[in-house]
Amino acid sequence: MPPTHLYVSDFTGNLYVYTLPLTASSTPTVTLAGQGALAGIAISQNKLYNGPFVFQLPLTSSSVKTATLTTTSSVVSDAADASGTIYLAENMNSTCCIDVYQGGATSPTFTLSGASVDAPFGVAVDSGGNLFSANVGSIGYFTAPVHSGQVGIIFGRDAFNEGLVTDASINLYVADGNGTGTIDYYHPPYTIASAPGTPVTIGGKLWQMAIGPDGTMYIASQTPNQLDVLTSPYTSIALAVPTSFNAYGVAVGP
């Protein structure tokens, strides 16, 4: 069954649900006030992950957390792979890490750290289970199966990498969080020599990103506050949905 909702987090701990497809006048059908985190969102096995918090779907205005994951530091971005493994990017403790949770664990199964995870602001997993980390100044890359002690590699240009997402062809899209409104594009295979093409500028201050199964891209944007909707090849905004809040995380789900 195709996803029917877009889930959005903001800077004050609120969560919002939009019905897809979006229009220029779309507003949230559900607002869950004060229960979330200033962090990205991941959807896995009918659960919503927002920072360290876990919610059962469907989300309602009275939903409560069903679990809180134990973390190494402060979470800024969430990702999930097809097996249900959860990845939390954390960057408030020096350069910190990515905590990995397997098999429904609420404490990290293992933690990735080192040069390939340098103050990450975003984390993404492609359809093959390969892991990407949006570091300050580089992209970290870990090939599947991601495992304890894995070192990974880094590539890319020296940018303030924020959100990132992959499409069905495992192309990588990275938002520059410096307020320049640019997106870097990378294409597989990924090596230490991988470099982006000419960045595409769409404007605004870009945060987290998501791509639905139909290939539609969603970006949380600030200045102005809106949800950017892009279609392939993602070179311009196809639709802008104004928001009354500062959106940060986005995810597509049931």
Q: What's the mean pLDDT in 19-28?
A: 98
> Which of 44, 9, 6 lies closest to 22, judged by CA?
6
Mean pLDDT, rounded, for 152-171: 92
Neighbouring-strand partners of residue 139: 134, 155
Do residues 195 and 155 lie in contact, with contact meaning Cβ atoms separated by under 8 Å? yes
Asked if residues 96 and 119 have their Cβ atoms less than 8 Å apart, the reply is: yes
pLDDT score, position 1: 66
The strand pair at 182-186 and 67-68 is best described as unpaired
Given the structure tokens 């359809």, which residue do they identify?
127
Average pLDDT over residues 179-191: 93
208 or 157, which is more confident?
Answer: 208
Confidence of residue 92 (pLDDT cuts 50, 70, 90): low
Mean pLDDT of 211-218: 97
What's the CA gap between 17 and 30, in Å, rounded?
5
Q: What is the pLDDT confidence band of residue 87, given thresholds at 50, 70 and 90?
A: very high
Q: Which band of pLDDT confidence, cut at 50, 70 and 90, is reported for residue 161?
A: confident
pLDDT value at position 94?
60
Residue 160's pLDDT is 82
The upper half-sphere exposure of residue 97, i.e. CA atoms within 13 Å in the direction of its Cβ, equals 15
The predicted pLDDT at position 2 comes to 77
Structural domains of the chain, ranges and CATH numbers in brackets: 5-253 (2.130.10.10)
* 205 pLDDT more than 90: yes
Summarize pLDDT for 222-237 with one digit per residue, the tens.
Answer: 989 999 999 999 999 9
